Amino acid sequence: MTGTLILVRHGQSEWNLKNLFTGWRDPGLTEVGIEEARKAGKALKARAIVPDAYYTSALTRAQRTLDLMVEEMGIDNLTIVRNQALNERDYGDLSGLNKDDAREKWGDEQVHIWRRSYDTPPPGGESLKDTAARVLPYYEAEILPRVKAGETVLVVAHGNSLRALVMVLEGLGEDEILAREIATGDPIVYVIDAAGARVATEAL
């Protein structure tokens, strides 16, 4: 028996466009982000994929992306589970700052360390390691059992919360996952066996 796990990063947000650190702040989608979400829904519909379960974060940009996807898929009888365990990495004191302004204030090297190291958090925020520490237990307790039971589960979340999952699913090291870019609005489909191991991966 195999199940299917579909991961989607939310569509482009207003703060992505403005080059701002977003984290747990809650901007909406841009027009481009709306189209990315609709395109993702159309891609799943074209493959006749109908999820058994739907998960997203507590943040509007991910929830809106999921809403637009299921609208395009023509699905209206569903239950969506929203949980802040799937939220984006908290950027703490950097939240709301322009990334170029942050570099001017703290220097290129320090901002690069905060953004791209695995376990060094920005002031008042989370590292990717911290993010994984809340994402993975939730995944293992709530999402993985359904996938292992043969269900198809759709998760719409954020770049770093999804990185935490991809790191485990693909067996990537700390340096490898930091270099991994997860595009907005592009579904990644994993086939998972009954033991929880990945047996196939496909990008739609």
- State the catalytic residues: 10, 88
User: How many CB atoms are located within 10 Å of the residue 95 CB?
Assistant: 18
The per-residue DSSP string of 51-73 comes to -SEEEE-SSHHHHHHHHHHHHHH
Three-state DSSP class for 152?
strand
Dihedral angle sign, alpha carbons of residues 182, 204, 74, 199: negative
Q: At what angle do helices 31-46 and 60-73 cross, to 10 degrees?
A: 40
